[in-house]
Structure 1
Amino acid sequence: MKEIGLIEDDHILRDTYAKYFRITKQFSVVFSVNDIKDALAVTSAQPDIILLDVNLQSGSGIDSIKVLKNRFPKSKIVILSSMEDARLTRKAMENGATGYLLKTSSMTYITESILKIDDGGVPLSPTTIPHVLQFNQQQHADANTELTKRELELIRLLSEGVANKTAADKLNVTYFTINQHLKNIYKKLKINSKAELIAWYLSKRNL
């Protein structure tokens, strides 16, 4: 069972999310708060996933991602917002978010998306995927000659939110090969996670 933390200032919406996740029996809601300061005050939980709103009483949730990651180092932070904006998507991923979901997505879609995180999936609502997809591969190849074409293709797929196993199928390689590619990419780019990889990907483009 996955443990979830909710940070949402609309108490009706927050309660709706909490009730839904509990009903699924796939999640345990370990905290449900209306602002960053309330989440930081939690001392007895390290949730697997934190769903974070953007507009909060104390300011932007996106600006608080790094603070939350320091407080909850084991947690994957996924933005859950009503705001569909390419710049916000980019900033969230650059700050270390694992994904960006819209509140207009169905609860089934949100649930399935965050359940795929363990398999290397990146939770993105369909309308936010283009924010990550506008990628000039030749420009990347010229600027990053140490990355192979196959590695660049893998980065593109992962940035679409494709899980590792699905990427293996699309590239006609084994799951083990995908993991080896990722190790090589991380070493070349001097990064340690998929969130950092997507942040790197986004930083190379003007959204």
Structure 2
Amino acid sequence: MKVIIAEDQSMLRGALSALLDLEDDIEVIGQAENGSKALDLILQLSPDLCLLDIEMPEMTGLDVAEKLQELKHPCRVIILTTFSRAGYFQRAMRAGAYGYLLKDAPVSELGEALRRVNSGGRAISPELSMTFWQTANPLTDREQEVLSRLSTGLSVKEIASELFLSYGTVRNYVSEIIQKLEAKNRIDAISIAEKMGWLG
């Protein structure tokens, strides 16, 4: 199977590539240090699979996965990350990712995951899967929109103006968000949502 690796840390990218190349049935045909280059390589070389880090310059791994889904590209995506955030996981699944693995997994496990995905299965780190499926985002799209603006430092009045809502409506949204996230205040709510990957 032909694989492309996208990872912004060059040492890790090189190590992954070298180790996977030792497997008889895996050939690393391209490496990218950012999401844009990864997308270009996938479109040029048509690999069977791509291993994408989440946090990369220019485009994140999730952005690339969403673009491939939009293009109906057959390359199967496996997200490789240090981030065990439920919001990221759910977004990856919505973008059609076949795998979601932690970077500290052994290479033998990674090789097996690639084979499973290549044959049509899914590969999700066991320590992540149960936690993630059970942690659904309690916020509505509108509440996420309000919280996202709060996190940039906008006031309730400014948010109301931007979203064409009344001051009272936005204030109610903020109260609802704090209650749903069981947060102490707005700052705590932003912190919780960021940790879970629920700020978009």
Give the structure-2-normalised TM-score.
Answer: 0.61
Corresponding residue for residue 115 of structure 1: 115
Partner of 2:24: 25
The answer (yes or no) to whether the contact 1:46–1:72 under 8 Å persists in 2 is: no
In the alignment, the residues of structure 2 paired with residue 99 and residue 16 of structure 1 have an alpha-carbon distance, to the nearest angstrom, of 20
Distance (whole Å) between structure 2 residues aligned to residue 18 and residue 94 of structure 1: 27
Q: What is the alpha-carbon distance in structure 2 between the residues aligned to residue 16 and residue 79 of structure 1?
A: 17
Deviations 1:61-80 (A, max 9, x none): 21331213456712100100
**Paired residues for 1:9-24 under 5 Å:** 9-24=8-23
* 2:24 pairs with 1:53: no
Structure (1 or 2) with the larger CA radius of gyration: 2
Q: Which residue of 2 aligns with 1:101?
A: 101
Kept in 2: contact 1:40–1:71 (CA 8 A)? no
Whether 1:65 and 2:45 are equivalent positions in the alignment is no
Q: 1:6 to 1:69 in 2, by over 3 A?
A: farther
CA deviations on 1:43-89 (whole Å, 9 max, x unpaired) are: 54111110000000124321331213456712100100011111111
Q: 2:34 touches 2:59 (CA, 8 Å); kept in 1?
A: no
Alignment: residue pair count:
135
The answer to whether the 8 A contact 1:100-1:124 is kept is yes
Judge which range, 23-32 or 65-74, deviates more: 65-74
Cα distance 1:70–1:29, how it changes in 2: closer, same or farther (>3 A)? farther
Aligned to 1:39: 38
Q: Distance in 2 between matches of 1:5 and 1:81?
A: 15
Shift in Å, 1:98? 1.1
Give the % identical residues: 24
1:30 aligns to what SS in structure 2?
strand
The letter for the 1-side match of 2:29 is V
Instruction: Give the aligned residue type for 1:7.
Output: A
Conservation of the 8 A alpha-carbon contact between 1:30 and 1:47: yes
Retained in 2: the 8 A contact 1:89–1:131? no
Question: Per-residue deviation at 1:95?
Answer: 1.5
- Alpha-carbon distance in structure 2 between the residues aligned to 1:15 and 1:70: 29
- Paired residue secondary structure (1:56): coil
Render the CA deviation track for 1:169-203: whole Å, top value 9, x for unaligned: xxxxxxxxxxxxxxxxxxxxxxxxxxxxxxxxxxx
What letter is aligned with 2:108?
A: T
- Structure-1 residue corresponding to 2:82: 82
Contact 2:49–2:118 (Cα < 8 Å) also in 1: no
User: Which structure 1 segments of 5+ residues have no match?
Assistant: 136-206
TM-score, reference length from structure 1: 0.59
CA distance in 2, matches of 1:103, 1:40: 21
Which amino acid letter does the alignment assign opposite residue 74 of structure 1? Answer: P
CA apart distance, 1:113:
1.4
What's the RMSD between the two structures over aligned residues?
2.1
